[in-house]
Amino acid sequence: MLSFTGRNDEDAIIRGIESGGRERPVYEKKLYAHFLYFVRQGMLKYRLPEEDCASAYSDTIITVISAIASGTFEGRSSLKSYAFQIFMNKCVDLVRKETTKKNTVHQTASISSMVMELPDRARNAVQQLIARNERSFVWQKLEEIGEKCKQMLLLFEDNYSDKEIAALMHYSSADVVKTSRLRCIEKLKEKIAGSNSTYE
């Protein structure tokens, strides 16, 4: 049983995610559990509901995993400091958004602008891929990343929540769906980038 308690253990998590392969999901789960106490700190500091802080934390972990996997996390600060700063920024964004709602009597927004405000980076990534590429081309690449990934991304595009997808696809939790979706999006991006097209 792996146990993580200090800086050396954070280094082990980083190496585990960087290495990829079958062990990567294990280290992603360890990362999620490692800083879970951030949620309580966010609730106390910003007086946010637990559900909002938990959502901000999940988005934080997805961002951190993406940064480690892509190499953009350079280790100039500790993993804890890096993750904590991202989490606090997301909490501040939630507070600002709530303040704006309270101070605005009439709010009108198009569906597209509402979607852009969603904290889930994965939703934005899926939409960007579809916007930049012909739908038929994206569909072809979806076929290449595996049935499970294809099903998950299509359900997400159809506005199923992470909780609903977890139930439909028999995942243990909505948070596991989020991290799994991130990996699926990375696969899809690689397929598109590796094609002979001029798509980004």
pLDDT tens across 62-81, in order? 989 989 988 899 888 899 99
CA dihedral over 166, 164, 88, 69, signed as positive or negative: positive
What are the extents of the domains in the chain?
7-103, 111-193
Maximum mean pLDDT: which of 101-105, 143-147, 195-199: 143-147
Cα angle 5, 11, 16 (rounded to 5 degrees) comes to 105
Tokens of 82: 């890096």
The pTM (predicted TM-score) of the whole model is 0.52
The Cα–Cα gap between 190 and 35 comes to 30
In this structure, how many other beta carbons lie within 10 angstroms of the beta carbon of residue 82? 20
pLDDT tens across 128-186, in order? 555 555 556 777 788 888 888 888 888 887 778 888 888 888 888 888 888 888 888 88
**Unique residue bearing structure tokens 């998590």:** 13
